[in-house]
Chain A
Amino acid sequence: DAKTTQPPSMDCAEGRAANLPCNHSTISGNEYVYWYRQIHSQGPQYIIHGLKNNETNEMASLIITEDRKSSTLILPHATLRDTAVYYCIVRSYSSASKIIFGSGTRLSIRP
């Protein structure tokens, strides 16, 4: 599975949109972009995933560039509860695929 690069930390004002970038320049055609987050002392929580089209659900939006080499997770109205480490992961659906976590982005929401 391809590797990803994320900024180590970001902050955002409460109520504003939080935009978290991720680079995955070596992504293959059959690999999906997944986002998870880990709130302190909890297991990772699935947020959203996509292949090449932009995706939106009740939690967030995922914007994937046309060349698929980077993506942005958007939390439209950040709240204090969105403070967490956000992980961008690339994986295929092969049976051998496994999620390897990088360092992620520590997002802090300020009041």
Chain B
Amino acid sequence: GAVVSQHPSWVICKSGTSVKIECRSLDFQATTMFWYRQFPKQSLMLMATSNEGSKATYEQGVEKDKFLINHASLTLSTLTVTSAHPEDSSFYICSARVPQETQYFGPGTRLLVL
């Protein structure tokens, strides 16, 4: 199957700082990328959908000014958690697909905000 990578795999930051997470499709061009968040012992929750070259569509309850998503190319999407706080600590997972194809997931990024 297709490979999706994320960087970094884990990050620790101080409260109030911003953190950027990268998601790359390594062997295919992804027209659509997704960002999920997962808290301990819970299922994945979809945060937003981004299409290359256009603004992301956020799910209800997700603050677009706090979670900035950029999908600048067909192989790269970034999620920036702005002014992170301890409640933003979570496991962030990206996913990518091309039309009419299977959606593949990255390995996830664990964020800890102190």
Contacts and interface: CB of A to CB of B under 8 A. Distances in A.
B43 A99 contact: no
10 contacts: A41-B108, A43-B4, A43-B93, A44-B95, A93-B100, A95-B99, A98-B46, A100-B46, A101-B44, A103-B43
Interface of A is mostly: loop
Contacts of B4: 43
Interface of A: 34, 36, 38, 41-46, 49, 85, 87, 93, 95, 98-104
Candidate in A44, A85, A99 with the most chain B CB atoms within 10 angstroms: A44
B102 A43 contact: no
Contacts, number: 50
Chain B residues touching A, majority SS: strand
Interface band, chain B: 20 to 34
B1 interface: yes
Given A44-B44, A46-B1, A104-B43, A99 B107 contact: no
A36 B34 contact: no
